[in-house]
C-alpha cells in the first residue's frame, strides 16, 4: 500500500497553478481557472463574446484579486471598448486612472506593410513589455490575433512568429487570453494557435428553432482535468455567466426541519406532517386539477413563516394570479407589498433556457429566498428539446439544493402520459417528493384526487384522497370506503347519506332501548318502594307487638313482685301463732 505522504507529495508536484477568472461558472468547469503564467486561446465566431470574456477576465482580476492587467486591442479603440462595456458596469477609464488597467490600441494596416516589405513582432514585444512593467500587470489580453498576423504573407514566417509570441508571453510569466476568429475546418483561421496554446476555449453562437443559444467548450487544457461537455452561457447586464450542465459532486447539506405544504390535509398524508426543508417537490397532473392552487398554497405558507418566496409563473400575469387566488380565499397582495413574495411572470419563449436559468440565479442572489415555485416547467418545452429542458432542470435542482432552497415545480401531464404518471421532462426521478393530482371521473361528474407517489426519507399514505377547491382554499376530504372501494363525488354523498341513515337508525334503536330500560327502572323502583313501605308496616307492627309484650311482661313482673311483698307483710311475728301450728 503506497505511503500517504508520498501520495500527497506527488499530488502537490503535479498540481498546475491556476488563476481564477472571476467569470461565473467558468472557474467551476476549469476546476480553478486558467493556467497561471501561460496563454489561453479563446476562439469563436462573430458575436459570441470573445472580447467581453477577455475584458471581464481583466476587470474581475482587478476587483477580486487586485491583479493589474493590460488590454492590447487591434480592432477597437480605447474609447470604443470603454463605451461597449459601460453597460455591464465596467468602468475602464476609472481603472486606468487607478493605474490598475492599461489599454493600448495598435492599428495594423496591411497596405502599409506591403509598401515597406518588412514586418515582425519586435515592436509589439517592446510595447507590450513596457505596458506590463509600467503597472506590474499579472493578466494580459490580446484582441484579436488575426489583425496582428494579417501582415505576414509568408506562412512559414507566420507560424514562426506565432510560436515566438506564445513563448515570449510564457517567459514573461503573465496569464494571457488571446482571442481569435474561428476558421473553416479549424478552430482558428491560421490553424496553429490552438496547438501552441496551453488552454483552448471554444465559444459558439448558434440559432436553433429561431432561438439563439451560446455554448462553451474547453477543447484542451494541458496539465489539468476539466469539464469536457458543451456548457451554455449567456451575456447579461453583469457580464458572462457559464452554467455547468450538472454539479460536479452531490455534496450539498441536508436539513431535518419539516415545513408545511400549506394544505393541512396534505400534511397529514406524510408521517412527519410536512416536507423536509431544502428538498424539491414535483406536482403533476392534467389540466384543471388545481396544480397552481396547490403551488400558491405552498408559496403562501412560506410567506407566513417569514420566508421570501420567488414564484415563476409561465401562464399568468401577477395581477391575474393575485385576482384568481382571491376566489379561493388566498390573498397574495399583502405579502407582495411586504417584499416576501416576488412574482416573475413571462412567457417561456421570451428567453432561452439558459437565460431562464441565469434569471433564477440572479434573483436568488438578489432576493435571498427560502422557497422557489416554478409553474409549470412543462411550458419550457416550447423553447427547447426534451433533453435540453431535462438538462436545464437538472442544473436548476442541483443549484437550489446547494443553496438550501426549498423548491416546488408543477408539470402538466399530457393525455398520453396521464395513465403512466410520467412527465415529458423526465425530472420525476430527480425530485425528492412527487405528488400527483388526477381526475376521478364518476357517473356524470368529475372530481379531483391527490396521491403521493414518492417521498424520499419519509413514509407516507398510499391512498388517493379526494379534495375540493373551496372559498377557503384546498380541503382534503375524509376517505370513505364503499362496497367496491373508495367512493367519491355523488357516490360519496350517497354513501354518506346511507351511513347517516344507518347511524340514525342505530341511534334511534339505542334511544328506544334506553327508554325501555328507563321504564323498567321506574317499575322496579316503584316495586321496591312498595315493598319498602310494606316492610316498614310489618316492621312497625312487629315493633308495636314487641312493645306490648314488653309492657305486659313488665306489668306481670311488677304484679308478682307486689304479691310477694304483700305475702311477706301478712306473716305472724311468733311462729306459734301461726294458724298452721297445732
Cite the DSSP H helix spans in 173-283. 193-196, 264-267
Give the confidence band of 421 by pLDDT, cuts at 50, 70, 90: very low
In terms of domains, do 475 and 501 share one? no
Angle at which helix 155-172 crosses helix 122-135, to 10 degrees, equals 20
- pLDDT reported for residue 483: 56
Cite the DSSP H helix spans in 250-290. 264-267
- The string of pLDDT tens digits covering residues 292-318 is 999 999 999 999 999 999 999 988 899
Question: Could you give the angle at the alpha carbon of 473 between the alpha carbons of 471 and 477, nearest 5°?
Answer: 100
| Domains held by the chain: number | 3
The mean pLDDT value of the chain amounts to 81
Block residue for cell numbers 435571498: 368
11 inside domain? no
249 inside domain? no
Give the confidence band of 115 by pLDDT, cuts at 50, 70, 90: very low
461 to 139, 170, 270, 431, 478: CA distances (angstroms): 60, 65, 6, 18, 13
252 inside domain? no
Asked if 276 contacts 432 with a C-beta cutoff of 8 angstroms, the reply is yes
In terms of domains, do 138 and 227 share one? yes
Cis before 416 (ω within 30):
no
In terms of domains, do 133 and 197 share one? yes
In terms of domains, do 465 and 487 share one? no
Listed in sequence order, the residues at least 6 apart from 353 whose beta carbon sits closer than 8 Å to its beta carbon are: 213, 232, 380, 383, 384, 388, 389, 392
* CATH number, domain containing residue 185: 3.40.50.300
Residue bearing the bigger pLDDT, 426 or 325 = 325
In terms of domains, do 193 and 335 share one? no
Give the confidence band of 336 by pLDDT, cuts at 50, 70, 90: very high
Percent helix, percent strand, percent coil in the chain, to nearest 5: 45, 25, 30
156 inside domain? yes
578 inside domain? yes
Residue bearing the bigger pLDDT, 450 or 110 = 450
The closest of 294, 288, 287 to 311, measured between CA atoms, is 294
Residue bearing the bigger pLDDT, 347 or 369 = 369
Strands (E), 456-552: 465-470, 473-476, 481-482, 485-486
Q: For residue 9, is pLDDT > 50? A: no
How is 426-459 classified by DSSP, letter by letter? --TTTSSEEEEEEEEEETTEEEEEEEEEEETTS-
- Mean pLDDT of the region 147-176: 76
Cis before 376 (ω within 30):
yes
Q: For residue 488, is pLDDT > 90? A: no
CB atoms within 10 A of CB 342: 17
Here the cell at position 53 is: 470574456
Choose the final residue of a domain: 479, 496, 516. 479
The closest of 400, 409, 312, 390 to 351, measured between CA atoms, is 312
In terms of domains, do 324 and 426 share one? yes
Asked if 284 contacts 411 with a C-beta cutoff of 8 angstroms, the reply is yes
10 inside domain? no
The closest of 131, 145, 161 to 41, measured between CA atoms, is 145
253 inside domain? no
In terms of domains, do 298 and 429 share one? yes
Range of the domain at 318: 258-479
Choose the final residue of a domain: 450, 479, 508. 479
DSSP classification of residue 460: B
In terms of domains, do 463 and 488 share one? no
- pLDDT reported for residue 426: 64
In terms of domains, do 231 and 265 share one? no
Here the cell at position 25 is: 461558472
The closest of 276, 325, 335, 273 to 301, measured between CA atoms, is 335
Block residue for cell numbers 422557497: 371
- Mean pLDDT of the region 172-188: 81
In terms of domains, do 312 and 439 share one? yes
- Residue 44: phi and psi, rounded to 5, are 170, 170
Asked if 20 contacts 27 with a C-beta cutoff of 8 angstroms, the reply is yes
Give the confidence band of 139 by pLDDT, cuts at 50, 70, 90: very high
Strand-pair category, 371-375 with 275-276: unpaired
The closest of 18, 16, 100 to 59, measured between CA atoms, is 100
Give the confidence band of 420 by pLDDT, cuts at 50, 70, 90: very low
Asked if 266 contacts 476 with a C-beta cutoff of 8 angstroms, the reply is yes
- pLDDT reported for residue 381: 74
- Mean pLDDT of the region 354-365: 79
Category of 69 on φ-ψ map: left (φ > 0), alpha (ψ -120 to 50) or beta: beta
In terms of domains, do 567 and 469 share one? no
Choose the final residue of a domain: 172, 207, 242. 242
Listed in sequence order, the residues at least 6 apart from 125 whose beta carbon sits closer than 8 Å to its beta carbon are: 168
93 inside domain? yes
The closest of 438, 441, 460 to 449, measured between CA atoms, is 438
Listed in sequence order, the residues at least 6 apart from 194 whose beta carbon sits closer than 8 Å to its beta carbon are: 41, 43, 186, 187, 188, 200, 219, 220
Tell me the pTM: 0.65
In terms of domains, do 227 and 367 share one? no
Amino acid at each position: 500500500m503506497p505511503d500517504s505522504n508520498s501520495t500527497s507529495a506527488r499530488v502537490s508536484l503535479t498540481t498546475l497553478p491556476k488563476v481564477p477568472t472571476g467569470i461565473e461558472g467558468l472557474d467551476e468547469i476549469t476546476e480553478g481557472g486558467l493556467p497561471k503564467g501561460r496563454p489561453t486561446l479563446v476562439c469563436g465566431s462573430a458575436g459570441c463574446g470573445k472580447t467581453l470574456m477577455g475584458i471581464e477576465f481583466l476587470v474581475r482580476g482587478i476587483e477580486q484579486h487586485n491583479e493589474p492587467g493590460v488590454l492590447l486591442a487591434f480592432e477597437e479603440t480605447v474609447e470604443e471598448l470603454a463605451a461597449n462595456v459601460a453597460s455591464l458596469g465596467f468602468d475602464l477609464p476609472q481603472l486606468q486612472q487607478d493605474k490598475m488597467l492599461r489599454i493600448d490600441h495598435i492599428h495594423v494596416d496591411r497596405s502599409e506593410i506591403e509598401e515597406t516589405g518588412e514586418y515582425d513582432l519586435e515592436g509589439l514585444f517592446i510595447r507590450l513589455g513596457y505596458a506590463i512593467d509600467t503597472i506590474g500587470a499579472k493578466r494580459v489580453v490580446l484582441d484579436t490575433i488575426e489583425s496582428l498576423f494579417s501582415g505576414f504573407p509568408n506562412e512559414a514566417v507566420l507560424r514562426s512568429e506565432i510560436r515566438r509570441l506564445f513563448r515570449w508571453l510564457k517567459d514573461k510569466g503573465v496569464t494571457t487570453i488571446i482571442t481569435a476568429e474561428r476558421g473553416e475546418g479549424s478552430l482558428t483561421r491560421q490553424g496553429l494557435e490552438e496547438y501552441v496554446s496551453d488552454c483552448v476555449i471554444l465559444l459558439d453562437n448558434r440559432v436553433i428553432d429561431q432561438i439563439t443559444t451560446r455554448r462553451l467548450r474547453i477543447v484542451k487544457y494541458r496539465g489539468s482535468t476539466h469539464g469536457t461537455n458543451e456548457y451554455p452561457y449567456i451575456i447579461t447586464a453583469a457580464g458572462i455567466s457559464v452554467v455547468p450542465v450538472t454539479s460536479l459532486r452531490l455534496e450539498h447539506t441536508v436539513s431535518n426541519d419539516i415545513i408545511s405544504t400549506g394544505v393541512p390535509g396534505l400534511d397529514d398524508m406524510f408521517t412527519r406532517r410536512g416536507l423536509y426543508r431544502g428538498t424539491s417537490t414535483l406536482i403533476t397532473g392534467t389540466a384543471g386539477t388545481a396544480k397552481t392552487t396547490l403551488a400558491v398554497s405552498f408559496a403562501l405558507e412560506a410567506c407566513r413563516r417569514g420566508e421570501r418566496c420567488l414564484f415563476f409563473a409561465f401562464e399568468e400575469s401577477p395581477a391575474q394570479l393575485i385576482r384568481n387566488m382571491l376566489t379561493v380565499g388566498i390573498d397574495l397582495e399583502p405579502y407582495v407589498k411586504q417584499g416576501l413574495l416576488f412574482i416573475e411572470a413571462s412567457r417561456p419563449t421570451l428567453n432561452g433556457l439558459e437565460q431562464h436559468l441565469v434569471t433564477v440565479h440572479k434573483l436568488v442572489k438578489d432576493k435571498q429566498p427560502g422557497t422557489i415555485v416554478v409553474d409549470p416547467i412543462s411550458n419550457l418545452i416550447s423553447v427547447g428539446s426534451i433533453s435540453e429542458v431535462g438538462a436545464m432542470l437538472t442544473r436548476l435542482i442541483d443549484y437550489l439544493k446547494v443553496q438550501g432552497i426549498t423548491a416546488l415545480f408543477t408539470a402538466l401531464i399530457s393525455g398520453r402520459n396521464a395513465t403512466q404518471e410520467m412527465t415529458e421532462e423526465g425530472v420525476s426521478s430527480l425530485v425528492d417528493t412527487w405528488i400527483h393530482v388526477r381526475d376521478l371521473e364518476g357517473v356524470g361528474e368529475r372530481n379531483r384526487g391527490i396521491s403521493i407517489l414518492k417521498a424520499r426519507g419519509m413514509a407516507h399514505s398510499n391512498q388517493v384522497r379526494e379534495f375540493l377547491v373551496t372559498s377557503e382554499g384546498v380541503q382534503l376530504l375524509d376517505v370513505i370506503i364503499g362496497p367496491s372501494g373508495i367512493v367519491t363525488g355523488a357516490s360519496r354523498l350517497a354513501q354518506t347519506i346511507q351511513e347517516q341513515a344507518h347511524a340514525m337508525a342505530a341511534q334511534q334503536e339505542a334511544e328506544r332501548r334506553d327508554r325501555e330500560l328507563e321504564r323498567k327502572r321506574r317499575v322496579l323502583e316503584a316495586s321496591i318502594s312498595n315493598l319498602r313501605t310494606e316492610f316498614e308496616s310489618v316492621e312497625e307492627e312487629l315493633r308495636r307487638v314487641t312493645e306490648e309484650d314488653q309492657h305486659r311482661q313488665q306489668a306481670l313482673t311488677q304484679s308478682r313482685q307486689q304479691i310477694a311483698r304483700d305475702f311477706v307483710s301478712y306473716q305472724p311475728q311468733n311462729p306459734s301463732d301461726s294458724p298452721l301450728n297445732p
